[in-house]
Amino acid sequence: MTGQDNALASRPGAAQPSVTELVSGILNDAQKLARQQLDMFKAEVREDMSRTKQAMVYGGLGIAMLTVGLIALVFGVVYLLHEQAGFSMWASWMIFAVVFLAGGAALGFVARNLFESFNPLPDKTFNALQENMTWKTQPQA
């Protein structure tokens, strides 16, 4: 007998709960736990989506501004190479094409590695769920 069973048995006039009541209580607790896990999952996803949206807005604006500035810089440097270094116009453009292709490939490689290390699942919720499932499957003493 557990401590709770002893307390129920020691009370005079206290009726023992029936098996149906015990099973009903267990099912109610399991449903409550499942609802809490689902609510926690929803809240965590909502929080992650909000942060992602904010980061994407700022990142998108930054990329747009960088693109315009970079295009202007490329035109300026290409014309500088053509006039000051004596390269032909096509050679000046090819130099910059190679530089940007190499830089883009390197950044793409870094981005791919970052995405591979990223876990999009809500870790807190799944860790709590795993802990609850482990607790339920352990034999009770």
Question: What percent of the chain stands above pLDDT 70?
Answer: 81
In a domain, 6, yes or no: no
Q: In this structure, is residue 8 part of a structural domain?
A: no
Residue 138, domain member (yes or no) = no
When the pLDDT of each residue in the chain is averaged and rounded to a whole number, the result is 82
Query: Is residue 67 in some structural domain?
Result: yes
Q: Is residue 39 part of a domain?
A: yes
Cα distances (Å, whole numbers) of residue 103 to 71, 96, 108, 122: 15, 10, 9, 33
Given a cut of 70, whether residue 122 has pLDDT beyond it is no
Element (H, E) at 74: helix 19-80
Residue 116 φ then ψ, to 5°: -70, -30
Domain with 76, as residue range(s), is: 17-125
Which residues, other chains included, contact 92 with Cβ-Cβ below 8 Å and sequence gap of 6+?
Answer: 78, 79, 81, 82, 85
Q: Quick check: is 139 in a domain?
A: no
Contact 45, 122 (CB under 8 A): yes
Residue 126: pLDDT band (50, 70, 90) is confident
Position 52 confidence tier, pLDDT thresholds 50, 70, 90:
confident
Question: Collapsing DSSP states into helix, strand and coil, what is residue 10?
Answer: helix
Helix (H) or strand (E) holding 122: none
Is 3 part of any domain? no
Is residue 140 in a domain?
no
How many distinct structural domains can be found in the chain? 1
